[in-house]
Amino acid sequence: MKLLILGATGPTGRHAVDLALRAGDSVTAFVRNPAALDDLADQVSLATGDATSHRDVSAAMAGQDAVVAALGRGRSVVADDFDESIRSSGLDWTLVYPTRLTHGPAKGTYRAGDRLPMKGNPTISRTDVAAFMHQAAHGREWIHRTAVISD
């Protein structure tokens, strides 16, 4: 599968890149700074640009089968505009909204749903989020859907 991974150098995105490469996917990493992936230069294609630019992201989407977006919401990405550009891309997509992200190890078990009942301050590891995004890109269950994911 040809996967475009947005936010590939971030903590969740890097997990997504590693999973995709291990699975044998053809990975295009969308990055601001290509030097941040020098260690993978011979394993991934690089697309350089600004994730807030529809033009940059649309150009990177050309020829891809699916997009995995591991962009932090704390950045200047305007969520509604970004989500709409993914939804209208013509590609398979799944929008994933994790609860509070941790740097802990993968548990391999988590809850995912269109909506989840939550109490307290739910968390999920970045590794589990990356695994869910990769699984969603390869399966049919979550295509053209929005998922909330939590431990």
Q: Could you read off the pLDDT of 16-35 as tens digits, one per residue?
A: 999 999 999 999 999 999 99
Q: Tell whether the torsion through CA atoms of 9, 72, 147 and 122 is positive or negative.
A: positive
Above 90 in pLDDT, residue 129?
yes
Residue 71 burial (CB count, 10 A): 17
Residue among 43, 42, 47 at smallest CA distance from 62: 47
What is residue 79's predicted lDDT score, i.e. its pLDDT? 56
Distances (CA, A) of 58 to 62, 90, 135, 143: 7, 11, 23, 19
Q: What is the pLDDT of residue 76?
A: 43
The per-residue pLDDT of the chain, averaged, comes to 88
Give the count of beta carbons closer than 10 Å to the beta carbon of residue 62.
Answer: 11
Q: Which residues pair with 47 in a beta bridge?
A: 30
Residues 89-110 have a mean pLDDT of 88
Give me the pLDDT at residue 80, please: 61
Res. 69 pLDDT band, cuts 50 70 90: confident
pLDDT, average across residues 38-52? 92
Q: What are phi and psi of 72, to 5 degrees?
A: -70, 140
- Average confidence (pLDDT) over 8-14: 92
Which is higher by pLDDT, 115 or 87?
Answer: 115
Write down the pLDDT at residue 103: 95
- Per-residue confidence band for 68, with pLDDT thresholds at 50, 70 and 90: confident
**Structural domains of the chain in order of their starting residue, each with its CATH number:** 2-95+126-146 (3.40.50.720)
pLDDT of residue 81: 66
Q: 8-29 as b/e, with b when 16 or more CB fall inside 10 Å?
A: bbbebbbbbbbbbeeeebbbbb
